[in-house]
Amino acid sequence: MARVLCAMSGGVDSSVAAALLRDEGHEVTGVTMKLWGGDSDTGCCSVSDVDDARRVADQLGIEHHVFNFGEDFEKWVVGPYIADHQAGRTPNPCIECNRHIKFDRLLERAEVLEFDYVATGHHAKVVRADDGTLLLGRGYDYAKDQSYVLHMLDQNQLAKLLLPIGSMTKDRVRELAAGYGMRTASKPDSQDVCFITSVQGRGKFLEERINLTPGRIVDTDGAQVGQVEGVQLVTIGQRKGLDVGGHATPRYVVDIDVPTSTITLGTKNDLLTDVTALTNAEWSAGAVSGKVLVQTNAHGDTATAVLGADSITWDKPHRKIAAGQSLVFYRQDPAHGELVVGGAMAAKL
């Protein structure tokens, strides 16, 4: 029996995670983090989500606390999200929240409060390799796998982490929740960035918070073909909304240069690259090189590539990746499936 602090968002996954830990005989305390004070659809921060988490904890007969990490969230997640966009990068705020809030602030708080482990309702697994190394594996339900957003966890963090629902399908989680009679059993999955509402959208959120720089749209040969109000709102691969129609073949954004406020359009082929430059690499258990499986977004497909010192060479030409996006590297393990070995950010295109 261990003392476990279970992060409960008010969703079905973490509700079931807490229940399973309690049933295994652990001394479980639930905690909901209040992170964002502004509008949100759902996610982690609304009063109704806190209510759901508290009522599930009541039903399970476990203690429940609310920790206000709003200032840390602003400092480490929302602020950098805005600054990154201002600088023309495309960050993943869920990764930064896991890095700085759940597995830094919350983990530290758990240690202060003498908990042995922190548990979450993520779809991922902590597995122990033959040499004793801890690695993060994909969740059993590959369609719901969240190992991508947890790739930054190091040995110390993995040693403190329990992921009780990582070995089951989402359907099974809902079935268990219904079996427990939980109010969260049929709650919809959370979507997208928790601090941006679906009504408002990313563009509107950013427009209110960054100084947009007007820019030129040029062709691959440098000829100007149009202009945009804000280069910071344009994304790599974007086709629509640039008002530069009239081409026989579809045109895509193939380059964004914020310092010179230049958007370059090209063909689908111009969007492909053999090599992606990397920065901020971090490793689960020591640096890795050579052949890896790479995932480039939260629910994306994987591609094979060869990992070098500060770049990755794709086996087949790969779509360009926006600066700031995370690339997560996996290796295939015969016993445990695909395991995270590290991650890095795409550097400037």
Partner 1 sequence: MTQNPGEPEPVAYLDNAATTPVRQVAIDAMVPMMSKCFANPSGAHRMAREARRALDDARDVLAPGLGCEPGDIVFTAGGTEADNLAIIGAYQRHGGTVVCPAAEHHAVLHAVEHCGGTIVATDNHGRVDLAALAEILTPEVTLVSVMLVNNESGVVQSLDPVADLIAEHAPNALLHTDAVQAFPWIDVATAAARADMISISAHKFGGPKGVGALVIREGVDIAPQLIGGGQERDRRSGTQNVPGIVAMAAAAQEMLATRDETVARIAAQRDRLVDGLVDAVDGMIETAVVNGDRSQKVAGSCHICVQGVESEALLVLLERENIFGSAASSCSSGAQDPSHVLAAMGMERSMAAGSLRLSLGFATTDAEIDHALAVIPGVFDRLKMFG
Active-site residue set: 97, 194
> Which residue type is seen at 242?
L
Residue number with CB closer to partner 1 (54 or 209): 54
Nearest residue to 203 (alpha-carbon basis) of 228, 227, 230: 230
Give the strand pairing for 326-333 and 337-346.
antiparallel
Span from 64-72, 131-139, 156-164, 246-254 in contact with partner 1 (CB under 8 A)? 64-72
Query: Least CB distance from residue 81 to partner 1, whole Å?
Result: 21
- In Å, how far from its chain's centre is CA 299? 9
Residue number with CB closer to partner 1 (66 or 178): 66
Name which position in 38, 58, 79, 113 contacts partner 1 (CB under 8 A).
113
Can you tell me whether residue 62 is helix, strand or coil? coil
Residue number with CB closer to partner 1 (48 or 249): 48
Q: How far is CA 315 from CA 321, 338, 342, in A?
A: 15, 19, 19
> Residue 8: which H helix or E strand, with range?
none
Residue number with CB closer to partner 1 (55 or 331): 55
Query: Least CB distance from residue 283 to partner 1, whole Å?
Result: 27
Name which position in 109, 183, 319, 331 contacts partner 1 (CB under 8 A).
109
Name which position in 108, 154, 229, 274 contacts partner 1 (CB under 8 A).
108
Within 36-55, the residues that bind partner 1 by CB under 8 A are 47, 50, 54
Q: How far apart are CA 30 and CA 52, in angstroms?
A: 12
Residue number with CB closer to partner 1 (63 or 315): 63
CB 305 within 8 A of CB 336: no
Q: Is 3 in the site for partner 1 (CB under 8 A)?
A: no
Q: Is 310 in the site for partner 1 (CB under 8 A)?
A: no
> Residue 299: which H helix or E strand, with range?
none
Query: Least CB distance from residue 285 to partner 1, whole Å?
Result: 27
Phi/psi region, residue 318 (left: phi>0; alpha: psi -120 to 50; beta: rest), is beta
CB 122 within 8 A of CB 163: yes
Residue with tokens 């229940």, as numbered in its chain: 19
Where on the chain is the footprint of partner 1 (CB under 8 A)? 32, 34, 47, 50, 54, 65-68, 70-71, 108-109, 111-113
